[in-house]
Amino acid sequence: MRYYYSAEQIREAEAPLLAALPDGVLMRRAATGLANAVVRELVRRTGGVSGRRVCAVVGSGDNGGDALWAATFLRRRGAGASAVLLNPERAHAKALAAFTGAGGRIVETVPAATDLVIDGVVGISGSGALRPAAAEVFAAVDDAGIPVVAVDIPSGIDVHTGAADGPHVRAALTVTFGGFKPVHALGECGRVELVDIGLTLPEPAMVGMEAADVAARWPMPGPTDDKYTQGVTGILAGSATYPGAAVLCTGAAVAATSGMVRYAGTAAQQVLSQWPEVIATSSPSAAGRVQSWVVGPGLGTDDTGAAALWFALDSGLPVIVDADGLTIVAAHPDLVTGRDAPTVLTPHAGEFARLAGAPPGEDRVAATRRLADRLGVTVLLKGNVTVIAEPDGPVYLNPAGQSWAATAGSGDVLSGVIGALLAAGLPPGEAAAAAAFVHARAADLAARDPGPRPAPTSSSRILAHVRSAIAGL
């Protein structure tokens, strides 16, 4: 599991170490880790360190000190080192003395022949866009195509939300210390490496599942399991206008687990033509026993759609609501408030605005938390970084790393996978987080099929790679 800590939690964890260790030891510990990461990046990009040129862009905080110490260590390993001091009077005195003593040069601008820039402008205490002087420096770095390694966070990006409201650093690599921060999932940080500096950390503010976590939770049939004990997923989706939504959603549930899928709706013929293993009927009441319901994709918002949603929510079973089902819930939120059984809502930004009364805005985590708490349900806010919040519970972040899943019908696939995991007995937050992880993996596989270079894909192709994504765990 990847854990994300707020800036306040990191600062509180640093305080006892700063009090116990001799002055400057913690900074040099961080700077050593930073220098080692820069060495690896230089070797990866240029083949070596000796004779390469690095330039630190230095602000007035501790991150500027980290950058200067790291440049000092690199200078001692044979690299050419320079530094741009954005606020010379407030540069870290000991780090600056060590840097110049090692032969580092103070310059006004980043030299043209620089192989790599270290961003030490602001750290986790900073806020807002780059100031004009720093913005000018990094605009020139961008124009020259020089890669940047950011210290802790890329300067100009908000540590809590990942938002960039104006000029900011575009980092190829971010090296952070002690623990990951929300920005490392929510913002544009390039690759992120964590340096352990010995902090004792509290409960994380947010978590993110990794492959091993998803694999440990994914339902695997045991020797005594049968098709019923593995979970029976019920699908209420599709209409005469949108039969494809039913095909995608049902197919995803079939691909996700080894139990049984029951479909009820007007697209039974189309569903059976694609998935003959599905038990299909035209009426929810005739569908038979299930362990969860998926409601909404392509369902329509007329009386028939509303009746199907009411039927599922009144069943006392776990329910995942998507697409047209969310439109109905937005008009009648009392349908989901107070439910005892798990309920998962999966809006995109527009659907979220209808449910919450306002768009999620820059702080997508806080907005998702508020909606989950207000309705008493699990909310999965779709996006390049999927945010999942449970009422009074944890927040899961799932950075996709790409946007191949942003294609029509993709949400129908995700809904089917979540429904299958709910039927298998996973708690709603874990089901949503694990499904989002596999869905993003399937989208990436679809974009790279048949070759390593990604290309536009479709929901049908994403569905076709769900099993491969699960097997890859």
Binding residues for AMP, by number, are 382-386, 411
Tell me, what's the pLDDT at 166? 94
Tell me, what's the pLDDT at 451? 79
Distance CA 254, CA 261 (A): 6
- Count of the separate structural domains present in the chain: 2
Q: Could you tell me if residue 198 is left (phi over 0), alpha (psi between -120 and 50 degrees) or otherwise beta?
A: left
| In a shared domain, residues 13 and 70 | yes
Q: Specify the CATH number for the domain of residue 389.
A: 3.40.1190.20
The pTM is what?
A: 0.95
Tell me, what's the pLDDT at 441? 95
Tell me, what's the pLDDT at 183? 97
Q: Quote the domain boundaries for residue 319.
A: 211-471
Tell me, what's the pLDDT at 90? 92
| In a shared domain, residues 18 and 120 | yes
| In a shared domain, residues 218 and 329 | yes
Distance CA 396, CA 2 (A): 10
Cα 275-278-283 angle, rounded to 5 deg = 120
Provide the 10 A C-beta neighbour count for residue 3. 13
**What's the pLDDT tens digit per position in 208-220?**
999 999 999 999 9
Length of the chain: 473
| In a shared domain, residues 167 and 276 | no
| In a shared domain, residues 244 and 200 | no
Tell which of 174, 207, 240 closes a domain.
207
Tell which of 182, 207, 232 closes a domain.
207
Tell which of 207, 238, 259 closes a domain.
207
Tell me, what's the pLDDT at 127? 83
Tell me, what's the pLDDT at 452? 80
| In a shared domain, residues 256 and 165 | no
Intervals of the chain under pLDDT 70: none
Q: Which of 173, 172, 131, 177 is nearest to 152 (CA)?
A: 177
Binding residues, by number, are 62-66, 119, 123-129, 152, 155, 245, 298, 348, 382-386, 411-412
* Helix intervals (H) in 122-208: 132-144, 183-186
* Burial category of 422 from C-beta neighbours within 10 Å (exposed 0-12, middle 13-18, buried 19 and up): buried
Q: Specify the CATH number for the domain of residue 26.
A: 3.40.50.10260
Joined together, the tokens standing for residue 237 give 């989706």
How many Å from the N-terminal Cα to the C-terminal Cα in the chain? 14
Binding residues for (6S)-NADPHX, by number, are 62-66, 123-129, 152, 245, 298, 348, 412
Contact 388, 345 (CB under 8 A): no
| In a shared domain, residues 251 and 384 | yes
| In a shared domain, residues 216 and 190 | no
Binding residues for K(+), by number, are 63, 119, 155
Distance CA 338, CA 84 (A): 58
Tell me, what's the pLDDT at 402? 80
| In a shared domain, residues 182 and 242 | no
Residue 110's SS3 state is coil
